[in-house]
Chains A and B, each alone.
Chain A
Amino acid sequence: MALVLSGQGEKASPVLQFARKYCAHIGYFLGLLGFLWLLVLPTQSLSRRTYLSENAMMPGQVDVGFGSSKHLDAMQSVEHHGQDMQKVFGQLGLDSEVQRIDGGGINVHGVLRAPRSDAVEALVVAAAWDTRNGTNTDAVRLLAGLAQYTAEQVYWAKDIIFLVTDSGERGVEAWLRAYHGEGGVLRERSGLIQAALALEMPLAGAYTGLALHFEGRSGQLPNLDFLNIVKHVARQEKLPVYYHGLPDMPGRAPGVEQYLRSARLLLSQVRAQAVGSSVGVHAPFLHYGIDALTVVGLQAGGGRARDLVAVGRTVEGTLRSLNNLLERFHQSFFFYLLSGNGGFSKSGLFISIGNYVPAAVLLAAALMFHAMDLWWRQGPDVTRAESPKDRITRINTYHGFLRSTLPGSIALMVRVHVLGALLFAIPFVVPKVVVSDSTTTGYMFTMFVASVTLMLHLSDSMWNPKVASDWRQLKALVAVYVAWVVALLAVMNFSLALAMFAVVGLPLMLTRAADEQTRWTRGCTLLMLAAFSPMVVLTAIRYLVGSEAVGGSSSLFKTFLSDYSLFGSPVYPLVCLVYWPVNVLCMVIALMP
């Protein structure tokens, strides 16, 4: 406890003196350590091979039967895009229903009633008519064939729901809402959905492998066992599985290339987790706590091509395995990063939470130590006197200082956050139609202008000699706040925590890192902060990385906004309530006397 004494410690033990002296250095050291930890992740020294934890799943231990002519006929019955699926499901003997979604769009689902149970649990196989890359008719065909196949079997212990939507994730979200009785009513219901599998098959007819996409809109992940099952079953069909569709390096690639490949895979997951996945319609399921993933047929790369039937047999094997699920997935990991596909073998490489989360914790701790150092160095010099003779003066001065400055610092933080809350609320007040790309750009520009004027106004008021203020105190408070946010995010969504640290924590640490401020360093700091401001960062991502990488629509801000209102993604609130206010506060700190 002696380590964290505030400025009025009674007795300065050697440990405490050391800690006070080197607090700043410890902070930077921890930050560096956290950064190095991140760099170590792709070396796979922290990775382990994935393994099937739930033995009851028994993947690949059954004879698969998909692919008879009857199944192929059922597949052929889906002839064209947008066909009346209710009729198709009806012909197959499923209980089917059409759901019309508010704002256009149709969901059709058919329920296969399990012959051996009483409809308390269900599995979902879903496909959208369209994907971002074009038509997805093959997936719907496959779905029809699987429906025919499953209807013939007698061993299902869970109902199987086949869902076809024509409005992508929005459609699935609407369907799930109705299914759980929140908006609209579905007549043909079943029990609790245990797992969901989304299909995405480019028009090719031949696939060299399967890609798995598994992140939810708020960075939720399905249980690792689910991924393992698919990988295991697909291997038996001679279909290699690639996480995120990133293929392996051929043969024995040199270490550097191994490292880069692993880093690319990890980065792709971090991006998908931080801003929400963009591939597949599985994401809404995760929002409802249902394990889900999307299987995408791959055409690129070498290797023997397999037809749609092989993919169908993979899905069949997966369904058979899921059929064995006794309770919901709980055995294996819920928090993981996948660092390698593991080639054609039945296991990939993963990093469990215990091995990657220390990076984020170290970064948050760096901010915390930074704050402690600043907190200790705030106020007049006499408050740091060590001699017991000055004790009374010291604590009185210190208290007087806090009394005169603390309310101001806290009021400043509250004021900026109230403005952030207003920015947050504005898009929900204006009519939805107005929110287009150009308006969001205009909105962000306004936000930028607002932050500049606000920053100038606030820092100007600080130069008033009547206002008692200390930039160290303000920075310490902001650092504690950011450390808090990063640490809380780290346990929910590691990638988002990293992203927050990169755009908020890092600039904060760099702001007035040196005690002495010249006009020159002040200018540089402001430029740096402007470069890290939401306006610039979001625009830069849009033009440099391409918005395709993170979402369908062209304006990132609009994507975040719609993700928030449709899927409860936390990015938009974080931008308005943490990122923007802290950026403005950093600018104020840079301009304070």
Chain B
Amino acid sequence: MSADTVETVDHDGDKRNPKKLSKQELANALAETLSRRSSSKHDTPDEPPASVARISEGSRLLRILLLGFALRLAVLTFASDFVARNLSMRVELSTPVTSYKRLVEGLYLASHGISPFDGGLFHQSPILLALFKVPYAWLPQLFSDAMYAGTDVATAMVLALIAAKKATLPAFAARPLVPGESRFRCLPSTVALLYLFNPLTLATCLARSSIMFSHLATVSALYFGIGGHIGYASVFAAVATHLSLYPVMLIAPISLMAAERNTPSAAAGQNQTTSRATGIALTLAKFAAAFASLHLLFAAVYGSEYFTATLDFTLRVSDLQPNVGLFWYFFIEIFDEFRPFFIAVFQLTALAFTVPISWRFRKDPLFGSVMLIGVISALKSYPAWGDLSLFLGLIPLYEELIKYMQYTFLSANLILFGVGLAPVFWYLWIEQGSGNANFFYAATLVYVFGQISLLFDLGSAMLRRELDIDYPEARERTVIQE
């Protein structure tokens, strides 16, 4: 799917060699694009004046967030029986590393002075233990429910902030648009709405899966990253890594964001490269420092076995309870002597995407992060529907790509069927006893294939749009990507 191998094809179908555009042509195209863009900005009548828009936009966002919070809290409080019976224990929603039941167990052990990581039951980060220590011991259930609902709403708010920032930051706003494109952008409140009222997000929150805390840390890291606050971004990335390991991949795009900030466009040749390298190195160092200090802190409080029980547990896939991922089925079958090898292969399949994706989309590290979050959701060792919900929540940030996507019908249907079939096959396998594990895994494959095709589509949409912007003559050609 690399655009480096792009060929331009005439509409008659005869192929030409890929050719370089002259500087003059490029300059002309740029001028044309800019003029079209400014004109299109003027003649969109339905866009209200900026000040009016901002006020109504703010109140709209507030209303959406409050509604989302109230809905979640109401269901958690008044329909707790329903939630406990139908959602809490669903393997599609809560995994050994995010389950609320296990969290409560860990809190109970911790409050009785026993190390929660000893029993082989609790696999969540010490951060969560600290966070829930007071609510668990002293406050009514309502308070911890409010924390869950609040976290989800905060994630939606940060997403909205990212959307707002993306519209105003020079790094994004200065980029030329494709001609004829009116100022398509999802309003921040719409981004929040699409995340908060996505049924998958809602179900994840109601199941009290602790993946939401990881989501909040992840999107906060991205928010600070694009704002240029690399210190905060590194700390949040370290927190997210401690919460669910895989956000460690995001440090690559975040370091590219830092590099972007460090290299003003005026800077010249040699200087640019070194300052970019410095930016990357500095970010990595900050992240490493934040991660290590958190590790030392936890090791001091809980002993180093916390590491074996949390991050190492995620890496080694020690609990093979079924989930919507690709790991469990395979590792049930595998001979023990091959386990380490295949664990390395499977984990690398996910982690290896870090550098290539970040580098390919280095012009827009935020997009690289969105792609990586999609990769995490499809290929991590303990995935749940909640992981997909974050990826889906991030897509509206890039609304301009949606018209370039070609397989939306396919991927939407695959995800729809993957999500629908999982509980059905679970019912047949576990409750009814007439199905078996293969049924459920088949549903998982459909689900993962849907995500991968969505990822693929999103990536090629981005590349095609960049091509349209950078090479105006390609706009009227058919592109075959191989």
Contact = CB atoms under 8 A, between A and B. Distances in A.
Interface in B176-191: 178-182, 184
Contacts of A9: 406
Nearest to B443: A491
Given A220-B432, A399-B402, A391 B475 contact: yes
A4 B410 contact: yes
Nearest to B11: A388
A391 B476 contact: yes
A535 interface: no
A491 B480 contact: no
Nearest to A5: B406
B184 A399 contact: yes
B416 interface: yes
Contacts of B428: 491-492
A8 B406 contact: yes
Contact of A289 (B182, B404, B424, B433): B433
Main secondary structure of the interface of A (DSSP, over half): helix
Given A8-B403, A8-B404, A388 B409 contact: no
A328 interface: yes
B432 A1 contact: no
B339 interface: no
Given A388-B476, A389-B11, A491-B428, A4 B404 contact: no
Given A387-B11, A393-B180, A395-B404, A491 B431 contact: no
A492 B429 CA distance: 11
A439 interface: no
Interface stretch (A84-92, A341-349, A480-488): A480-488
Contacts of B409: 4-6, 372, 375
Interface string B412-439: 0100110011001101100111110001
Contact of A491 (B402, B424, B478, B479): B424
B407 interface: yes
Interface in A388-415: 388-389, 391-393, 395-396, 398-400, 402-403
A4 B477 contact: no
Nearest to B184: A399
Contact of B416 (A4, A389, A480): A480
A480 B416 CA distance: 10
Given A6-B409, A10-B479, A484-B417, A396 B403 contact: yes
A24 B427 CA distance: 35
Interface in A401-448: 402-403
Nearest to B456: A1
B468 A487 contact: no
A275 B439 CA distance: 25
A564 interface: no
Contacts of B182: 396, 400
A330 B436 CA distance: 10
Contacts of A6: 405-409
Interface string A311-332: 0000000000000000010100
A491 B476 contact: no
A398 B425 CA distance: 37
A149 interface: no
Given A289-B433, A484-B420, A488-B421, A11 B410 contact: no
Contact of A328 (B402, B424, B433): B433
A388 B473 CA distance: 11
A368 B453 CA distance: 19
Q: Which range holds the interface residue count of chain B?
A: 35 or more
A37 interface: no
Given A1-B410, A6-B407, A8-B403, A396 B476 contact: no
A392 B417 contact: no
Nearest to B476: A389
A404 to B, nearest CB: 10
Contact of A488 (B184, B424, B453, B468): B424
Contacts of A484: 416-417, 420
B107 to A, nearest CB: 27
A370 B439 CA distance: 27
Nearest to A389: B476
Contacts of A335: 434
A399 B476 CA distance: 18
Nearest to B427: A492
A51 interface: no
A488 B427 CA distance: 12
A28 interface: no
Given A388-B11, A484-B420, A289 B407 contact: no
Nearest to A489: B424
A389 to B, nearest CB: 5
Contact of B425 (A5, A391, A491): A491
Interface in B427-459: 427-428, 431-435, 439, 453
A334 interface: yes
A220 B431 CA distance: 11
B404 A487 contact: no
A382 to B, nearest CB: 12
Nearest to A371: B409
B427 A10 contact: no
Interface string B462-482: 001000100000011111100
Contacts of A400: 182
Contact of A10 (B402, B435, B478): B478
Contacts of A10: 406, 464, 478-480
A392 B480 contact: no
Contacts of A220: 432, 434
Interface string A1-17: 10011101111000000
A447 to B, nearest CB: 24
Contacts of A334: 433-435
A544 B9 CA distance: 65
A358 B425 CA distance: 18
Of B408, B421, B431, B434, the most chain A CB neighbours within 10 A belong to: B434
Nearest to B410: A4
A365 to B, nearest CB: 11
Contacts of B480: 10-11
A10 B406 CA distance: 8
A391 B475 CA distance: 7
Nearest to B465: A395
A491 B406 CA distance: 30
Contacts of B425: 491
Contacts of B410: 1, 4
A10 B479 CA distance: 7
A6 B457 CA distance: 12
Nearest to A400: B182
Contacts of A398: 403
Given A10-B479, A399-B184, A484-B416, A1 B403 contact: no
A399 B433 contact: no
A396 B181 contact: yes
Contacts of B477: 388
B397 to A, nearest CB: 15
A5 B180 CA distance: 23
Given A289-B432, A387-B11, A480 B403 contact: no
A480 B406 contact: no
A403 B402 CA distance: 10
Contacts of B432: 220, 289
B398 to A, nearest CB: 13
Nearest to A387: B11
Interface string A531-560: 000000000000000000000000000000
Across the A-B interface, the 3 shortest Cβ-Cβ residue pairs: A334-B434, A399-B403, A388-B11
27 contacts: A1-B407, A1-B410, A4-B409, A6-B407, A8-B404, A8-B406, A10-B464, A10-B478, A10-B479, A11-B478, A220-B432, A289-B433, A334-B434, A372-B409, A388-B476, A388-B477, A389-B11, A392-B476, A396-B182, A396-B403, A398-B403, A402-B402, A403-B184, A484-B420, A491-B421, A491-B425, A492-B424
Given A399-B402, A399-B403, 9 more contacts: A6-B405, A10-B464, A220-B432, A289-B432, A289-B433, A393-B180, A396-B403, A491-B421, A491-B439
